[in-house]
Amino acid sequence: QVQLVQSGAEVKKPGASVKVSCKASGYTFTSYSMHWVRQAPGQGLEWMGLINLRDGATVFAQTLQGRVTVSRDTSTTTVYMELSSLISEDTAVYYCARRATGTGQSDFWGQGTLVTVSS
Contact status: 95 vs other proteins (CB under 8 A):
yes
Q: Which of 76, 88, 104, 118 binds other proteins (CB under 8 A)?
A: 104
Question: Mask of contacts with other proteins, 49-68, x by CB under 8 A?
Answer: -x--------x-xx------
CB of residue 61 to other proteins, shortest distance in Å: 4
Contact status: 27 vs other proteins (CB under 8 A):
no
Phi, psi at 62, each rounded to 5°: -60, -35
Cβ atoms of 97 and 33 closer than 8 Å? no
CB of residue 5 to other proteins, shortest distance in Å: 12
Helix (H) or strand (E) holding 82: strand 78-83
Helix (H) or strand (E) holding 70: strand 68-73
Contact status: 102 vs other proteins (CB under 8 A):
yes
Binding residues for other proteins, how many (CB under 8 A)? Answer: 23
CB of residue 118 to other proteins, shortest distance in Å: 20
Q: Distance between CA 109 and CA 17 in Å, rounded? A: 23
Give 116's strand partners.
11
